Amino acid sequence: MNDALLASYGQNEEGGIHDHVGVILVWSMELRNRPEFYCFCQSPITSAMFYPFSNSIVLGSLYNGQIALWDLRAKTSPIQRTTLSNESHSFPIYSLAVVGSQNAHNIVSVSNDGKVCSWSMSQFTTPTKSYMLNY
């Protein structure tokens, strides 16, 4: 999506208990009156990005320590999520990046406790590597 941008949002202070907590809105420069796509989640979305190797995939890091994947062609709910485990994040994720080339890449995430996880799209449930940053 060359002419699109996305923004992630947390829960509105005036929101109700049944409202979605996290929302990603995908805006098109051609359609300026409303978002073109909506992506909803039951956890606040701390960061979001377009997956660089597919125009229809959006990645989002969540406050609960998961990473969610949306396919804009499918629906507004995530089609995949990472699981919560000892190897994955247990704190909010605030940094998310795709590292590598189209044929060999990983998703790298960092939570606010200093844990770094590397994820493969082919095995998205648990990280392929995880370690703590020491200072």
pLDDT tens digit sequence for 50-81: 999 998 999 999 999 999 999 999 888 999 99
pLDDT tens digits for range 87-116: 899 999 999 999 998 888 999 999 998 999
Residue in the block written with tokens 């994720």: 93
Would you say residue 34 has pLDDT above 70?
yes
Average pLDDT over residues 26-43: 87
Q: What is the pLDDT of residue 105?
A: 93
CATH number for the region 4-132 comes to 2.130.10.10
Residue in the block written with tokens 């590597």: 129
Q: Name the DSSP class of 88.
A: S
- Taking 3-state DSSP, the helix, strand and coil percentages for the chain, each rounded to the nearest 5, stand at 0, 45, 55
DSSP 32-84: -SS-SEEEEESS-EEEEEE-TT-TTEEEEEETTS-EEEEETTT-SS-SEEPPP
Q: What is the domain partition of the chain in residue ranges?
A: 4-132
Would you say residue 84 has pLDDT above 80?
yes
**pLDDT exceeding 70 applies to what percent of the chain?**
90
Q: What is the pLDDT of residue 2?
A: 67
As a whole number, the mean pLDDT across the chain is 87
Q: The tokens of 104 are what? A: 């060999």
**pLDDT exceeding 90 applies to what percent of the chain?**
50
What is the identity of the amino acid at 33? N
